[in-house]
Structure 1
Amino acid sequence: MSTGNEELDKAIELAGYSYDSIQDIFYSTMDPWQRDVGYCRLYDEAAAPLGMIIDCEPIYFDYQGKKWMISFWKGQYDMVTGGEIGIYIATREITLQGLFSGTFYQAASNEHCLPMSYTLNKNGKPLFTREGKHWWLTGFKLGEFSEPLELTMDIRISLNDVQMRNAFITGLLNAGYSYADLDVSGNAVALTFDIPHTPQPMTRTRETDKLIQRKNLLLCEQYQALTDPYDTVPKKIKALEGLSPDMYKKVINIGKTKKMYEMYTSIVIIGTFLLSRLAGGIDKTKQLLR
């Protein structure tokens, strides 16, 4: 959908999003730049230091010889309240000595996208609903401030067949869900993501969450105060461009920012390169000593 402002639409598109004027939310497109950067746990560790206090729930399972991860996220992404479901497939293992050891995933291809939906609720009341066949189903409400504990996601995912459904259910059980938490109908599985069952990033602490959320609340209040005279989100955002260029940049970079991905992608690439060079040097040394 369009905001009605061609210049603004282009800026939002470059950020990887589009605007739903009916629900007044931003959502990810099918082929944004985020699709190329994949996923590893470091991304979740980067979220809080960059101002995003979000719960994550990765569900791992094996299907057709591939290692899959379907993950849920909800919380405060700087100036927006939002929720996400992402589908990823493992490509390789990464070990960065003293920093990270784990799996790197690529975003699901078009053939691996799944029909899914969710409603994001705040204190028991729906904020918005998203539905579609996708690899990354998202929604973000600008200027809305929420604590992750206030939010729940009513999720439904249709898997390809019984084998995939059962594998996904096994992943949910391994994560700490019970059969009582799940509603299974055919190949579809429905559940509510409330309090996370899986360990949260080490960067999430009570003290730092409180500090970052205080900043996020202030940003939302400033946004509301600055844009109160304007009656639509496109007008509000356009007004921000002149009233507060810094806040305007934050709005355009909705959700998980490029900065977050670039920081850790660079670490992964550089770390992998240095480790490979080090391994090569060790091999040469062993040859000389023979």
Structure 2
Amino acid sequence: MRFSTQPIPQIPENSQKTDLLTQQPELIPPTDDLRQRLLFQEPTLPALEATTLLNSTGDEELDKIIEIAGYAYDPIQDIFYSILNPWQRNVGYCRLYDEAAAPLGMIIDCEPVYFNYDNRKWMISFWKGQYDMVCGGEIGVYTSGIQLNIPEIFSGTFYNCVNDSELLQMSYVLKKNGQILFTRSDRHWWLTGFKLGEFAQPWELTMDVEIIFPNKAMLNAFLDGFKKAGYADFEYSINGNTFNFTYNTPRTPQPTTRTPQTDRIIQEKNRFLCELYQEITRNGTTVPEKLKILNEEAPELYEKALRIGSNQQFFQIFYVLIISAMYLLAAFSEGSPNDKMYLSRKKSEILNKLKQKIEALGIR
């Protein structure tokens, strides 16, 4: 994947026109407090949480590896799922994450719903598809952090993961061609489930979703965004503060990095990896046994399997993007409004450094 200077086409959020970004960031007086707030903190791994027998592979060392990756294992359903405080909670969300998914081997349908509630912008997003060697689905809950305007690259909202007091009770049933693969239910900010070695096309998957909102005001705000995303009244149901719908075909524009040709090529690779995993581990009866066999016979495939839907390099890339955007905004704030040469020079300088850092991360 080569870094492109072409701007990513803007995907309008379901908000009023007054919420749209201006072409240039506002000039902000430079202060030490500003610079401190602009520094996006580098993600840190959470302390390992206690793993119970009911959420364990039965192999303590493997459990630790999986937990460091941000997940736990459900032996009854044979799926991996995200824990409450994984390292991913520190990196939030922006549209660039979805744009980078396909080049990193993940062909997934994305359905973000944007809405305004409690004087903030919110996003609840739904994902389903093939994440390299795993098949799965996700529901994420986010609220706005900052507006990014990285010239020639991206303009949009960077969202923070909600805090513990804002977690929502959510559940979904993931089906492949009408057959249940697994179910998930929890009070969470990022409800996920991933089945290792299972292959599916995004259109083969459906999610029967249920979300319980804390009050009618938040539910109604979400419904406004849901309808703006393209859904009609007959496509969902309400019972009190509980919302239900079936996510099948996305209504919102999909990432520009997904095309029929690239989807076909990447999915052929993903299908091959899943079949290879099944073949190599055919003599294993449990997940620890299968992963032990995989580690011995195909170490590279073992490392890929343990990514479980999240490529840490993927987030490192965008950590660099966001950091660079912060410095870009800070550079603009330090210049005089009339000093166009200064602003242009700083812009070029920082964007060049940004491209170099991305190249250094191995994106070719």
TM range (shorter): over 0.9
**TM-score of the superposed pair, with normalisation by structure 2:** 0.77
Question: In 2, distance between residues paired with 1:154 and 1:210?
Answer: 26
Name the counterpart of 1:165. Answer: 219
- Per-residue Cα deviation, 1:101-121 (whole angstroms, up to 9, x for no partner): 000100011100000100000
Contact 1:63 1:167 in 2 (8 A): yes
Query: Equivalent residues in 2 for 1:114-193 (5 A)?
Result: 114-193=168-247
Question: In 2, distance between residues paired with 1:285 and 1:113?
Answer: 46
Query: Equivalent residues in 2 for 1:45-60 (5 A)?
Result: 45-60=99-114
Name the counterpart of 2:132. Answer: 78
Name the counterpart of 1:257. Answer: 311
Is structure 2 residue 66 aligned with structure 1 residue 15?
no
Letter in 1 for 2:263: D
Name the counterpart of 1:107. Answer: 161
Contact 1:59 1:171 in 2 (8 A): yes
Q: Determine helix, strand or coil for the equivalent of 1:98.
A: coil
Question: In 2, distance between residues paired with 1:175 and 1:234?
Answer: 42
Q: How many residues align?
A: 288
Letter in 2 for 1:198: T
Name the counterpart of 1:231. Answer: 285
- Per-residue Cα deviation, 1:249-289 (whole angstroms, up to 9, x for no partner): 11111112111111122112113313432553454837x9x
CA spacing shift, 1:282–1:211, aligned 2, 3 Å? farther
Shift of residue 161, structure 1, vs aligned partner: 0.6
Query: Equivalent residues in 2 for 1:195-206 (5 A)?
Result: 195-206=249-260
Q: Determine helix, strand or coil for the equivalent of 2:272.
A: helix
Letter in 2 for 1:277: A
Shift of residue 64, structure 1, vs aligned partner: 1.1
Question: In 1, distance between residues paired with 2:226 and 2:333?
Answer: 38
Question: In 1, distance between residues paired with 2:246 and 2:271?
Answer: 26
Contact 1:96 1:272 in 2 (8 A): no
Contact 1:23 1:128 in 2 (8 A): yes
Name the counterpart of 1:36. Answer: 90
* Identity score, percent: 54
Contact 1:95 1:272 in 2 (8 A): no
RMSD: 1.5
Question: In 2, distance between residues paired with 1:278 and 1:115?
Answer: 42
Question: In 2, distance between residues paired with 1:46 and 1:208?
Answer: 13
Contact 1:53 1:77 in 2 (8 A): yes
Name the counterpart of 2:270. Answer: 216
Is structure 2 residue 89 aligned with structure 1 residue 69?
no
By percentage of residues, which structure has more strand? 1
Q: Which runs of 5+ in 2 are unaligned?
A: 1-54, 343-364
Which residue among 84, 91, 94 is the counterpart of 2:145? 91
- Per-residue Cα deviation, 1:221-242 (whole angstroms, up to 9, x for no partner): 1100100011112210121111
**TM-score of the superposed pair, with normalisation by structure 1:** 0.96
- Per-residue Cα deviation, 1:106-165 (whole angstroms, up to 9, x for no partner): 001110000010000000111000001000000000000000000000000000111111
Runs of 4+ residues deviating >4 angstroms: none
Question: In 2, distance between residues paired with 1:182 and 1:101?
Answer: 31
Name the counterpart of 2:25. Answer: none
Question: In 2, distance between residues paired with 1:258 and 1:246?
Answer: 15
- Per-residue Cα deviation, 1:187-224 (whole angstroms, up to 9, x for no partner): 01000110001000000111001000011011001100
Letter in 2 for 1:212: I
Q: Determine helix, strand or coil for the equivalent of 1:146.
A: coil
Question: In 1, distance between residues paired with 2:128 and 2:176?
Answer: 11
Q: Determine helix, strand or coil for the equivalent of 2:170.
A: strand
